[in-house]
Amino acid sequence: MKQIIKKFIPVIVFEWRANIRDWRGLMSDTATQRSRFAKYHSRPNSTGRGQIETQIMFHTHQIEKGLSHENFRPGFGKGVLKAMATLLTRLQQTGDDAANTFVYQQAISALHEYVKRHHDIDYDLTYMRNMFPDDLWNAICNTDVKLAGVLTLGRTDKVNNRHVDFKTLAECRYAIREYTDQPVTKEELDEAVDISMKTPSVCNRQATRIYEILNPQTIQTLLDIQGGYRGYPTPPALVLVTSDIRAFMNHMERNEPFVDGGLFSMSLLYALEYVGLAACPLNAMFSRKQDEQTRKILNIPDYELPVMYIAIGHYPEHARVCQSQRYPAQYITTTID
């Protein structure tokens, strides 16, 4: 019976029915996704441990970035320190074990490095001391935990990158934000993109698109719009990774542009490391205005979604990098036997 009905109803009707189903699915699934995100993401007044930890990690990273700057600015980050004092106190209130958590220890370690760096140059830290209650200040001054701070990488450490094993390549890659003045060539970028083409994608649909930007003025204009790279010299090259929405087939694939684009981006970061270029992933979390401005400059079609930027350059003689220590693997792993 179904076959007979199908024979007399034009295909276009079935296509319309599928379209309507997909549209309804898109509306309802994005609404569920939106409310889940709204419910759980970290807000300034969050009281849950996970959300407080997120804000502490954000500020820990700001301290590490400030300490790693080539042009170190003594007394930097007063707003960050103030926020840390509030957030660490709030974290303590989430339970007796708070002080043993990775995030707490890492934050204390970063603050310790801040104090040490300023003591080394006899910089007066009264402003900082006045922000923290006694117990936190004592923890900051006396900790011997080493979970944050700055590392120095040498250019010579990277010359052999085409021959090192994957574990070493992955473990020694760091986000580098300051480069030499040497231009990056299209050929150098092309080699890394070429290697990254082996990245898997859903049904091999290969939605990722790459914009290689080599013009210094355009790079600086784009980074001014992006806003997360302030205080660093213009990098010699910038790549924007985007994803072509036309490669996706229904509402259940709505997040896949970012999954596939994210996978490609990580391949590209490793490929850049392999060819001996230094790089820093940068967010493309644009407001509507930033999105419009960026699209206009790069002539990005409406059907592409920005995934992320990567700033690229040649390794300086010595690069000061944030340690950005990771959780132990067992912390993020659930095994179902």
Ligand X SMILES: Cc1cc2nc3c(=O)[nH]c(=O)nc-3n(C[C@H](O)[C@H](O)[C@H](O)COP(=O)(O)O)c2cc1C
What does the binding site for ligand X look like in residue numbers (CB under 6 A)? 61, 174-175, 177, 228-229, 280-283, 308, 321-322, 324
The bridge status of strand 208-213 relative to strand 277-283 is: unpaired
**Shortest Å distance, C-beta 103 to ligand X:** 14
**Shortest Å distance, C-beta 166 to ligand X:** 15
216 or 281: whose CB is closer to ligand X?
281
Which has the closest alpha carbon to 28: 253, 245, 250, 251? 251
- Does residue 314 sit in helix, strand or coil? strand
**Shortest Å distance, C-beta 160 to ligand X:** 20
Q: From residue 78, how far is each of 73, 125, 143, 172, 318 by CA, in Å?
A: 12, 11, 21, 31, 28
Assess contact for 184 and 314: CB atoms under 8 A. yes
276 or 281: whose CB is closer to ligand X?
281
**Shortest Å distance, C-beta 61 to ligand X:** 6
Q: From residue 218, how far is each of 185, 208, 215, 223 by CA, in Å?
A: 16, 22, 5, 9
108 or 319: whose CB is closer to ligand X?
319
Q: 36 exposed, middle or buried (CB, 10 Å; 0-12, 13-18, 19+)?
A: exposed
Assess contact for 150 and 113: CB atoms under 8 A. yes
136 or 239: whose CB is closer to ligand X?
239
24 or 326: whose CB is closer to ligand X?
326
Task: Provide the β-strand partners of residue 239.
Answer: 212, 310
139 or 307: whose CB is closer to ligand X?
307
177 or 320: whose CB is closer to ligand X?
177
Assess contact for 311 and 279: CB atoms under 8 A. yes
| DSSP classification of residue 251 | G
What element of type H or E holds 173?
A: none
61 or 205: whose CB is closer to ligand X?
61
104 or 309: whose CB is closer to ligand X?
309
**Shortest Å distance, C-beta 229 to ligand X:** 5
d(CA 319, CA 243): 32
Residue number with the smallest Cβ distance to ligand X: 228
**Shortest Å distance, C-beta 228 to ligand X:** 3
**Shortest Å distance, C-beta 321 to ligand X:** 6
Which has the closest alpha carbon to 231: 179, 150, 177? 177
**Shortest Å distance, C-beta 173 to ligand X:** 7
d(CA 194, CA 84): 43
Assess contact for 186 and 214: CB atoms under 8 A. yes
Assess contact for 213 and 240: CB atoms under 8 A. yes
**Shortest Å distance, C-beta 57 to ligand X:** 9
